[in-house]
Amino acid sequence: MTQRHLIPAVALFLLAAGCAHLPRQQAAAPTDEAEDVAFALSMDYETLELPLETGAQDSAPEAVERDLWDRIRDGLRLEPRDDPRVEAEIAAYTRTPDFMPRVANRAAPYLHYIVEELEKRAMPTELALLPVIESAYRPFAYSPGRAAGLWQFIPSTGRHYGLKQTWWYDGRRDVIASTQAALDYLQRLYDRFSDWELALAAYNAGEGTIMRAIRANQSRGLPTDYWSLQLPQETRSYVPRLLAVRALIAEPERYGIALPSIPDEPYLTVVEIGSQIDLALAAELAEMTVEELYRLNPGFNRWATDPDGPHLLVVPIEVAERFEMALNALPPQKRVRWERHQIQPGDTLITIAKRYHTTVEVLKQVNDLRSHHIRAGQHLIVPVAVKSPEHYTLSVNQRLHRIQQTQRSGERHVHVVQPGDTLWELARRYRTSTQKIAAWNGISPRDPIRPGQQLVIWLQSEGASKATLAGPPVKRQQVRYTVRQGDSLYSIASRFGVTVNDLVRWNGLSKDRYLQPGQQLVVHVDVTRGSI
């Protein structure tokens, strides 16, 4: 039996809009590279094309006397501030007056829910504007620092606040789960600092950074409010940027901002589905497109929901009843398609997983395998999608495919990662930067790369062959290094021209564990380097 829980949300107004990213203080427009790095996995979908009455897309939305923006204005609690930093941020936004309307359209499916949750907790409604500066309200946003989702949680903080992250699902992108986690985090920061500006600064820079800045001012007899602290440049701009957005929402006419009217009424509901389901099948049951379902449920990475949950789907209220009826008529065993695979000589779990676009862990789980050992002639049950991969347009693989297929300047080259390769070395070989390679491939510069992984690299030197650009191939040799007194992962990585992530990956280490003198480490050394 399915159950549903009402989520206050909003009716959508479909406005044509181009891609937009957060304007900075500089007068120059951001470069394509900066935009790609900032939103490497964002799909530039500006609106949520939900079922509307015939002709609704062609007519202007009717004016309402009071809408969600009025409700947000009623809950504003941060003091406006006459400060050059705030004024500079306001000026940056007003130089791009269509930015806020585009962000408002992206926020429309989620904003009412967030405002309701803030009011339940008696928190300032300015916090509903925080995703404007974190992600431009893009649930698929992925930053160079590995932060994901509307609220831009990094993996560790997300896990700390209960956001599950698996092959199937990333709770950092789940709008409902990540909003609850973000509000929990912000409330805890406020409880610690008793000041919303300091809490917001800590959300950006971390509690430790803010505490050290406060102690430094205390030791010198200086004020310890946000505006008096010596903070990293990004954090110095963070609160002024939110106050600038607050000003635009509070007085849009004053700043020439035309906000789309968003009704203050519920739109979405969460349905408990009870088991794993193929998202294409779920979309058919709800009479929606797969893209529409993904945009409401951006936490799901693959073609189906996570077999271990959460067993929840967000759908529009208007389709929820027929979706529940259709779902209740479909037994759980028919919600995912299964194939019976006979193991052939030479098969391994890895090769079978690749063939069926799944993982070894999934195969072991559904077949109750306790090891990687399999025998020819045995059979495995394999979950498979009901549609072809390209049908799941907003799955991780399809988002990555779109990024890698985007036409850019230069000549497109595909590099297959070899053992020991690092982004730093590839950037050196191909005369580019780690940031560009990361942006071209929808990853963070901090993400590890794996042997066999395909990376798209755009060669910029005109008239030069790929071989000439790349230079001589890197020759690597595996060596064992004995840890000495005073060694650290960073010092060893620097000595051998590799990264800390490489050492961790090659040796199954944890960055949180100290090295011990006498410990043996495997290092893949570039023997073409002049010296080590």
pLDDT the model gives residue 397: 87
Predicted confidence (pLDDT) at residue 10 exceeds the cutoff of 80:
no
Residues annotated as part of the active site: 134
What mean pLDDT do residues 248-256 have?
A: 96
What CA–CA distance (Å, rounded) separates 365 from 367? 6
The alpha carbon dihedral of 388, 392, 395, 399 has a sign of positive
Predicted confidence (pLDDT) at residue 445 exceeds the cutoff of 60:
yes
What CA–CA distance (Å, rounded) separates 112 from 173? 17
The CATH H-level superfamily of 476-526 is LysM domain (3.10.350.10)
Predicted confidence (pLDDT) at residue 360 exceeds the cutoff of 50:
yes
The residue type found at 306 is D
Q: Which residues contact 146 (CB under 8 A, 6 or more apart)?
A: 154, 155, 444, 446, 447
Fold held by 406-470: Membrane-bound Lytic Murein Transglycosylase D; Chain A (3.10.350)
> 39 is written with which tokens?
């939103």
- Neighbouring CB atoms inside 10 A of 121's CB total 12
pLDDT the model gives residue 123: 98
Confidence band for 512, pLDDT divided at 50, 70 and 90: low
Percent share of the chain, pLDDT over 70? 83
* DSSP-derived secondary structure letter, 139: T
pLDDT the model gives residue 324: 95
- For residue 273, the number of C-alpha atoms closer than 13 Å in the C-beta half-sphere is 34
Of 519, 527, 468, give the one whose Cα is nearest residue 497: 527
Of 17-31, 51-65, 291-305, 438-452, give the lowest mean pLDDT range. Answer: 17-31
The alpha carbon dihedral of 117, 119, 123, 126 has a sign of positive
Of 201, 189, 192, give the one whose Cα is nearest residue 130: 201
DSSP characters for 66-101?
S-HHHHHHHT--SPP---HHHHHHHHHHHTSTTHHH
CB 249 within 8 A of CB 111: no
pLDDT the model gives residue 509: 81
Confidence band for 160, pLDDT divided at 50, 70 and 90: very high
pLDDT the model gives residue 177: 97
pLDDT the model gives residue 190: 98
Confidence band for 193, pLDDT divided at 50, 70 and 90: very high
Fold held by 337-386: Membrane-bound Lytic Murein Transglycosylase D; Chain A (3.10.350)
Of 402, 347, 417, give the one whose Cα is nearest residue 380: 347
Residue with the bigger pLDDT between 175 and 25: it is: 175
Q: Which residues contact 504 (CB under 8 A, 6 or more apart)?
A: 489, 510, 511
Q: Which residues contact 163 (CB under 8 A, 6 or more apart)?
A: 153, 170, 171, 172, 174, 177, 178, 181
Q: For residue range 381-418, list pLDDT tens digits in order.
A: 998 888 888 889 998 888 988 899 888 888 999 998 98
CB 24 within 8 A of CB 30: yes
What CA–CA distance (Å, rounded) separates 449 from 444? 10
What are the backbone dihedrals phi and psi of residue 239, each rounded to the nearest 5 degrees, phi first?
-65, -45
Confidence band for 153, pLDDT divided at 50, 70 and 90: very high
Most confident of 105-119, 359-373, 396-410: 105-119
Question: Could you tell me the residue ranges of all domains in the chain?
Answer: 77-135+175-265, 268-330, 337-386, 406-470, 476-526
Mapped onto helix, strand or coil, the DSSP state of residue 269 is strand
Of 243, 241, 218, give the one whose Cα is nearest residue 230: 218
> 50 is written with which tokens?
């939900």
Q: What is the mean pLDDT of the chain?
A: 83
What mean pLDDT do residues 359-373 have?
A: 87
pLDDT the model gives residue 3: 53
Predicted confidence (pLDDT) at residue 11 exceeds the cutoff of 50:
no
In sequence order, what are the beta bridge partners of 341?
380
In sequence order, what are the beta bridge partners of 478?
524
What mean pLDDT do residues 498-516 have?
A: 76
Mapped onto helix, strand or coil, the DSSP state of residue 482 is strand
Of 203, 77, 183, give the one whose Cα is nearest residue 120: 183
Of 230-244, 324-338, 340-354, 484-498, give the lowest mean pLDDT range. Answer: 484-498
If phi > 0 it is left, if psi is from -120 to 50 it is alpha, else beta; for residue 245 that is: alpha
Of 40-49, 121-130, 334-343, give the lowest mean pLDDT range. Answer: 40-49
The residue type found at 209 is T
- Cite the DSSP H helix spans in 335-488: 349-355, 360-366, 396-405, 423-429, 434-440, 466-470
pLDDT the model gives residue 353: 87
Confidence band for 319, pLDDT divided at 50, 70 and 90: very high
Confidence band for 466, pLDDT divided at 50, 70 and 90: low
Instruction: Quote the Cα angle for 405-475-515, to 5°.
Output: 95
What CA–CA distance (Å, rounded) separates 324 from 501? 46
pLDDT the model gives residue 483: 84
- Neighbouring CB atoms inside 10 A of 164's CB total 18
- Neighbouring CB atoms inside 10 A of 223's CB total 11
What CA–CA distance (Å, rounded) separates 42 from 143? 10
Q: Do domains 406-470 and 476-526 have the same CATH topology?
A: yes
CB 136 within 8 A of CB 106: yes
DSSP characters for 461-475?
-TT--HHHHH-SPPP
Q: What share of the chain is helix, strand, coil (3-state, %, to 5)?
A: 40, 10, 45
Confidence band for 2, pLDDT divided at 50, 70 and 90: low
Prediction pTM value: 0.74
Q: Which residues contact 179 (CB under 8 A, 6 or more apart)?
A: 110, 113, 114, 117, 150, 151
pLDDT the model gives residue 232: 95
pLDDT the model gives residue 523: 85
